[in-house]
Structure 1
Amino acid sequence: MIIHEKYEPVSKRNNLALLKLSEPLKLSRNIEEAPLAGIVPKVNSLAKVATWRKSIFFYHLSVIEEAIISKDECSKALDNSALQAALATETICAQNKILGACDKDLGAPLISRGQLAGILTNPSCSSKPDVYTSVVQYKTWLEANTE
């Protein structure tokens, strides 16, 4: 595993890591590659996130849509001052006003226009915004640390 060398656990700045697999992942109808996004999704655009939802007996993987929201709107809705410091440039905020991602979803992909735009950093477990590490801000680091 390669953890970003400047990761800050309290503020969650630089919150990303790469997992090197011993053999290539076998792609299928249910497992696909997602190219890294080249631009940050626009405010009010829709993105998808994979989440674990509990049914009566077990958790199942599902996909929810979230709207990208502005950093100002996100900051007002969040009451975590340490996290607000990281909202400056390296994050994306998205919100589903009915249900959001939760702790079991940490690291989940935020997919916008078929591209990986973010990695879930701070789930709300509610209708508050979810915060994602923006892969656009770390594209150079990601490419330098992958083969």
Structure 2
Amino acid sequence: MLQSAGILLLTFLSWSTAEVAKNGSGRCSPRGKAARVEEVPWIASIQSNNTQLCSGAIINPKFVLITANCLTNVNITTVKVLVGNPDRDSGSSFGVCNEIIHTRNPKHTSDDNLSLLKLCEPLTTSAKVKAIDIIDKQPEEGARGSVAGWGSLTKGRFKSKDCWAKHSKVLRKTDVQLLDIKECATRRKKSFSKLSLSDANICSEKRDFSCSYDAGSPLVIDGKLAGIITAGTCLRKPEIYASLYNYRKWIETSTKDK
């Protein structure tokens, strides 16, 4: 069993290295460009014991939206939400007093991977800390937007590769374009055979070898929050997001008067 797992891992790494080598230099570049926090004041760094776990999006002064699997096996009393600074480990720090997790859909493993963190005290809004509204219509295929965050989704420790570092310390941002969900599923299944996508997801094109930002990194279209990353990649594979238009009612109900 262990031998089979080792062979599978080596096969994946060999293929990944070969893919990266096609980039020319044999090294991956950081994703996008360094960003000022004023460009994405709704972004938050979610940490536990001074370790970055994922990113999140401020949806009102009391709540931050993240992926549900961000805090798997993490004691909520150790969690801190950092906002207002492009440096991942700086900014104002807030404790978390409650987590509201969306009930998962057993038929589609990529659906409903969302939770809401209720802060112990509300944020003070400013040019660097600001909530963002949820998109009020389903984004169309080909729509353009931007996504920002601090790191990659890889769980490896390949420090020799720039884009394989576990997390970036500097906030970065890049432009993206949405891709048809069926085309997205087809491309991703070539590498992830058990992947299941539904209309609760949206995808964006990714044509370079840099790694995706953290899970939970916000996708913004026309100034509104359209999605958060739930599955990224360090290869030329589409990125998958929770389509937040589908979760508006759950978010509104879960945060109303709380």
Which among 204, 209, 212 is matched to residue 101 of structure 1?
Answer: 212
Could you say which residue in structure 2 is the equivalent of 1:136? 245
Q: Distance in 2 between matches of 1:7 and 1:88?
A: 11
Question: Does residue 89 of the first structure (1) align with residue 187 of the second (2)?
Answer: no
Which among 184, 190, 194 is matched to residue 74 of structure 1?
Answer: 184
Q: Distance in 2 between matches of 1:114 and 1:65?
A: 13
Q: Which string of whole-angstrom CA distances, capped at 9 and with x for unpartnered residues, describes residues 59-90 of structure 1?
A: 2111111110001220121022433x2x2210
Could you say which residue in structure 1 is the equivalent of 2:255? 146
Q: Distance in 1 between matches of 2:130 and 2:236?
A: 28
Which among 96, 100, 117 is matched to residue 226 of structure 2?
Answer: 117
Q: How far 1:17 sits from its partner (Å)?
A: 0.3
**Once superposed, what is the RMSD of the aligned Cα atoms?**
2.4
Q: How far 1:7 sits from its partner (Å)?
A: 5.5
Q: Is the Cα contact below 8 Å between 2:149 and 2:218 reproduced in 1?
A: no
**Pairing 1:24-103 to 2, within 5 Å after superposition:** 24-52=122-150, 59-79=169-189, 80-83=192-195, 85=196, 87-98=197-208, 99-102=210-213
Q: Distance in 1 between matches of 2:144 and 2:235?
A: 18
Number of positions where the alignment pairs a residue of Structure 1 with one of Structure 2: 142
Could you say which residue in structure 2 is the equivalent of 1:11? 109
What SS class does the counterpart of residue 39 from structure 1 fall into? coil
Q: Distance in 1 between matches of 2:116 and 2:247?
A: 12
Unmatched 5+ stretches in structure 2: 1-98, 152-161
Q: How far 1:128 sits from its partner (Å)?
A: 1.2
Q: Is the Cα contact below 8 Å between 1:77 and 1:129 reproduced in 2?
A: yes
Q: How far 1:95 sits from its partner (Å)?
A: 1.9
Which among 117, 126, 129 is matched to residue 235 of structure 2?
Answer: 126
TM-score (ref. length: structure 1): 0.85
Q: Is the Cα contact below 8 Å between 1:119 and 1:132 reproduced in 2?
A: yes
Unmatched 5+ stretches in structure 1: none
Larger C-alpha radius of gyration, 1 or 2?
2
Q: How far 1:96 sits from its partner (Å)?
A: 3.0
